[in-house]
Structure 1
Amino acid sequence: MSSQSPLLDHLLELRNRLLRSIIAVGIVFAVAATFADDLYHWLAAPMLASLPLGSSMIATDVATPFFTPFKLAFVVSIAIAVPYLLWQLWAFIAPGLYRKEKRLVVPLLASSTLLFYAGVAFAYFVVLPLALKFLAGAAPEGVTVATDISRYLDFVLTIFMAFGIAFETPIAIILLCWSGATSVTSLRRKRPYIIVGAFVVGMLLTPPDVISQTLLAIPMWLLFELGLLIAGLYRSEPKPEPEQNQD
């Protein structure tokens, strides 16, 4: 019976932290929902700017004009609450980590959040205007471009996720080297294959145009190089090991 007690304590703590996370997202959503239409107008700005004069976005479903802005507000609420959600995750797993692991995990959580935000910002301010202008201009003559607001939201969220995850490349490199799954030297030898892989990922995750594919592949390659640099600096400092063995 006593062996079940720690497990029950962990489950209760997990439940409490999940409840706090849900409440935090709910509070942010309550605020964001009041600006749902403004948020969607801001999101749709690149699309509206790329449409021909006289064109506009459309809604093909009866309930789409109502639900689509609230769907965006919910996604924005989760994105805003991410630092708090990660803090709850950190508070849950921290007791089971060694001191050396704690020193590494905190910067990784903070930097992964910033990198994800940076990827989303890069997609919105750089990739979307170029990609949407290209796609709108590629329409055959006589075809009026009129994008459905729900389809556009799904398209943009896919782009945001692709770039947000792609910008996590340095974190993935550091974790792989830290865990011993690979090494900096091995990854440097595989650099040509990784560069080709970045362009393949760009082709799979972005719209079918060369601009957005290249704009995803090049940052992934540069972030891969950054991850190698940071992982090399980290791996070059394992001096505490001998001192621990003496104890």
Structure 2
Amino acid sequence: MDKLAENTFIGHLLELRRRVLFSMIAIFAGFLVSYPFSKTIYNILAAPLVDVLPKGSHLIYTSLPEVFLTYVQLSLISGFVLALPVVLYQFWAFVTPGLYAHERKVFFPLIFISAFLFIGGMLFAYFIVFPNAFRFFVSFSGGDITAMPKVDSYLSLIVKFSLAFGLAFQIPILIVVLVRVGVLQVAALRRGRRYAFLICAIASAVLSPPDVLSMVMLLIPMYMLFEAGLFFAAHLPAPQPVAEDLMGTAAESARSTTDEMNAAEASFRVKDGNDPDQR
């Protein structure tokens, strides 16, 4: 038994290594495709800041390899985005053998909905939050103060807050999963709306750029996503109990074993000439 468990564990590790290797190859291929367009990608990401910079201001870099390393980082991020379908498929292929049928039916769409919400959060930050936040920050320049943002600092800022907004948009998925596994109850979540609003306010203050406008622009969609997750968690059909799955699997196995035994007994009787149907 111990040897079988060890072999199973090693098999899972080998399977995980294979899935991770395929994902890394896909990301590297995406990096190679993205690098020739890294300057264009950076110009697109810099547009929310460049559009609000005062006349005569522009992005700068203070070390020779800074721009090159920035382009490399951007290419890696873009490569990961391009390889995301492959990465999600490898993740799904690794976890699906350990899931029950009803869990696979729920888990499979949740993966792609999660990716959609993550990208939606990043787009919301890019088109709605960043222009207003950068306009607020640049408004302090003037006179002896000139806005000259660094290339790598700006990339770090926009990537950090894009990821933060993408993660914040995962709230509906988190609520649905926690309700489905029994950690949370819909009734308890409804009673705790005021606490949910407080948690969203604290999270938006931590995740958003350090200004009130950005905080409010993240707080509103976060709480709306909480309500959306609550709605879907309340209206999704209840999962089939695991015990029923086990009983169904055991019954099916027992039926299969019985059929095989009957077939073997019939074959034995035919060979011995004792088949009652032939008498």
Counterparts of 1:70 and 1:79 in 2: how far apart (Å)? 14
On the 8 A contact 2:172/2:225 being kept in 1, the answer is yes
Residues 149-189 of structure 1: per-residue CA shift (max 9 Å, x gap): 00000000111011000000000000111111111110111
Counterparts of 2:163 and 2:240 in 1: how far apart (Å)? 38
The partner residue of 2:124 within 122, 137, 143 is 122
Aligned to 2:135: 133
Structure 1: stretches of 5+ with no match in the other structure:
none
Aligned to 1:14: 16
Once the two structures are TM-superposed, the CA of residue 12 in structure 1 deviates from its matched residue by 1.2
Once the two structures are TM-superposed, the CA of residue 243 in structure 1 deviates from its matched residue by 7.1
Aligned to 2:152: 150
Once the two structures are TM-superposed, the CA of residue 237 in structure 1 deviates from its matched residue by 3.7
Counterparts of 1:83 and 1:211 in 2: how far apart (Å)? 34
The AA in structure 2 aligned to 1:91 is: A
The AA in structure 1 aligned to 2:184 is: T
Once the two structures are TM-superposed, the CA of residue 83 in structure 1 deviates from its matched residue by 2.1
Moved more, 220-229 or 196-205: 196-205
Stretches (4+) displaced over 3 A: 236-247
On the 8 A contact 2:61/2:67 being kept in 1, the answer is yes
On the 8 A contact 2:117/2:166 being kept in 1, the answer is yes
On the 8 A contact 2:38/2:71 being kept in 1, the answer is yes
Counterparts of 2:241 and 2:13 in 1: how far apart (Å)? 35
Aligned to 2:270: none
Counterparts of 1:93 and 1:49 in 2: how far apart (Å)? 45
Aligned to 1:69: 71
Aligned to 1:185: 187
- Counterparts of 1:1-247 in structure 2, within 5 Å, are 1-139=3-141, 141-234=143-236, 236-237=237-238
Once the two structures are TM-superposed, the CA of residue 140 in structure 1 deviates from its matched residue by 5.9
The AA in structure 1 aligned to 2:72 is: F
The two structures have a TM-score, normalised by structure 2, of 0.84
On the 8 A contact 1:159/1:205 being kept in 2, the answer is yes
Counterparts of 1:16 and 1:239 in 2: how far apart (Å)? 32
**Are residues 229 and 139 of structure 1, via their aligned partners in 2, closer, same or farther at CA, if it must alter by over 3 Å?**
same
Once the two structures are TM-superposed, the CA of residue 232 in structure 1 deviates from its matched residue by 0.4
Once the two structures are TM-superposed, the CA of residue 96 in structure 1 deviates from its matched residue by 0.6
Residues 193-226 of structure 1: per-residue CA shift (max 9 Å, x gap): 1112211111111111111111111111000000
Equivalences, count: 246
Structure 1 or 2, whichever has the larger Rg, is 2
Residues 104-157 of structure 1: per-residue CA shift (max 9 Å, x gap): 100110100000000011111111111101111123642000000000000001
**Are residues 85 and 135 of structure 1, via their aligned partners in 2, closer, same or farther at CA, if it must alter by over 3 Å?**
same
Kindly report the root-mean-square deviation, in angstroms, between the aligned alpha carbons of the 2 structures.
Answer: 1.8
User: Percent identity between the aligned chains?
Assistant: 37
Counterparts of 1:3 and 1:200 in 2: how far apart (Å)? 45
Aligned to 2:274: none
On the 8 A contact 1:127/1:212 being kept in 2, the answer is yes
